[in-house]
Amino acid sequence: MKKVLKIVVGIIIVVIFAGTIVYLYQKSQAKPVIFETTTATVTDIVKKTVATGKVVPRKEIEIKPQVSGIISELYVEPGEKVKVGDMIAKVRIIPNMINLNEAENRLSRAKITLEDARTNYDRQKSLFESRVIAQADLQNYEVALKTAKQDVEAAENNLQLIREGITKSSGTASNTIIRSTITGMVLTVPVEIGNSVIESNTFNDGTTIATVADMGEMIFKGKVDESEVGKLHEGMELILTVGAIDTERFTAKLEHISPKGVEENGAIQFEIRAAVSLKENMFIRAGYSANADIVLERKDSVLAVQESLVKYEGDSAWVEVETGPQTFEKRVIKTGLSDGINVEVLEGVKKEDKIKIQNAGATATAAK
C-alpha cells in the first residue's frame, strides 16, 4: 500500500514539473502580431484657411454737431431706427462774449443809422410835397432808408444767430438741431444731456453725438497670414461662423484684399473684407467676432487615404500594401491635395488594396 502511494505521489510531482516546463516555454514564445488594415476611400478634399475678425456694418456714420454748445435734449436711444433728417439731439449755444458784444454794437449802430435815414427822408418828403425838390432827389433818400432798414434786420438776425443759433427768416432750419444723415439704426449715443460738445471744423473732428449704421448691409473684416494671402482672390466664397450664433453658418463673398500687410506679433497680416449674405429673421449685431473658413482648393470624389498612413522619404511617399495574409510590401504612391486628414492618391494604390495601419499593431492579438 505504501509502495502504491509513493508511486502516485511521484507521478503527480512529475506531471506538475512537466506542466510548469510547458507553461514557461509557452510564455517565452513571442506572440505574433496581427496588423489591422484599411482601404482607400472616395471622398471630397477641401484645403482651407481660417481668418479671424468681426462683422461690422458697411455704412457706419458718426453724427457730429455744426455748432459748439451744451446738449439740451436727446431724441434717440441705442437700438432705435431713424431715417434721413430725423432729429437726434438739440444743442444749446453758449455764445462767445466777444462776438456777442460786437453783434450788439452792430445792431445799435444800425438803429442809429436807420433813425438818421428816416429823419432825412421825412424832411425831403415834405420838401418834395411842397414842390421844392424833384422826385429824383427824394428817391436817393428813400433808397438810403430802405438800406438802413435792411441793415437793422441783418444785425438783428446776426445777434439772434449768435445767441440762439437760429434766425426768424430761417424758419425750421437750424444747426442747433442735430439730424441723422442716413437711414439706419442708432448704435451708440456717447453723450448725455448737459454734456458740452464741440463743432466739427477744419481743426477739430468734433464731438460724436451718435453713431448710426445701416444694419441691412454687413461686411466681415478679418486678417490672414502672408503665407496664405497669395492664394486668395476677389470673389472667393467664405463660410462665416459667428461666435454669438455658433449654430448658424453664413456665406460671404471676398471683395477686398489689402495691398499692404501689417506686422502683428512678429507675423505679417493682411486685412480682407467680404460682403455677408444675411438670413431672414436673424439679426447680427455690429462687432460680433467671427471666423471665416476660406476654401483655397477643392477636389470632389477623389481617391484618398488617411494622411497618417503615408510615410515620406525625401521627395517620395509610400504606404505598406498587403500582398498576402499579414504580408506587406512598400508601395510608392503619387499624392495630390491634402487637407491635413486625408490626402489624394493619384497613382500607386487602388481602391481595393489593403493598406497597413502603421500604429494599430498595439491592438494586435495573439495568433491561435
Phi and psi, residue 258, nearest 5°: -60, 135
pLDDT value for 365: 41
pLDDT value for 13: 78
pLDDT value for 316: 86
Instruction: Give the dihedral of Cα atoms 15, 19, 21, 23; nearest 10 deg.
Output: 180
pLDDT value for 61: 93
The answer to whether 162 and 96 have CB atoms below 8 angstroms apart is yes
CA 68 – CA 209 distance, rounded (Å): 12
- pLDDT 10s digits, 268-291: 999 999 999 998 888 899 999 999
Nine-digit cell string for 338: 491634402
Nine-digit cell string for 26: 509557452
Residue 69: which region, alpha, beta or left (left: phi > 0; alpha: psi -120 to 50)? left
Q: Domain spans of the chain? A: 37-45+300-363, 49-57+215-298, 62-213
The answer to whether 226 and 267 have CB atoms below 8 angstroms apart is yes
Could you tell me where the DSSP H helices lie in the chain?
A: 2-28, 97-129, 135-164, 226-229
Nine-digit cell string for 130: 411842397
- pLDDT 10s digits, 214-263: 999 999 999 998 888 888 889 888 989 998 888 889 999 999 999 999 99
The answer to whether 348 and 333 have CB atoms below 8 angstroms apart is yes
Q: Is CATH 2.40.420.20 the right assignment for the domain spanning 37-45+300-363? A: yes
DSSP state of 246: T
What are the respective helix, strand and coil percentages of the chain, to the nearest 5? 30, 40, 30
The CATH label, of 3.40.190.10, 1.10.357.10, 3.40.50.1820, 2.40.50.100, for the domain at 62-213 is 2.40.50.100
pLDDT value for 228: 84
- What's the predicted TM-score (pTM) here? 0.61
**Whole-number Cα distances in Å, 201 to 70, 72, 204, 206, 208:** 17, 21, 5, 7, 13
pLDDT value for 299: 87
3-state secondary structure (DSSP) of residue 74:
strand
The CATH homologous superfamily of the domain defined by 49-57+215-298:
Efflux pump adaptor protein, beta barrel domain (2.40.30.170)
Q: Hey, do 37-45+300-363 and 62-213 end up sharing a CATH topology, with the first three levels equal?
A: no
CA 165 – CA 23 distance, rounded (Å): 109
CA 69 – CA 197 distance, rounded (Å): 6
Name the stretches of the chain with pLDDT < 50: 172-173, 360-368
Around 4, how many Cα atoms within 13 Å sit in the side-chain half-sphere?
A: 1
pLDDT value for 363: 43
pLDDT value for 4: 66
Phi and psi, residue 59, nearest 5°: -110, 110
CA 345 – CA 322 distance, rounded (Å): 17
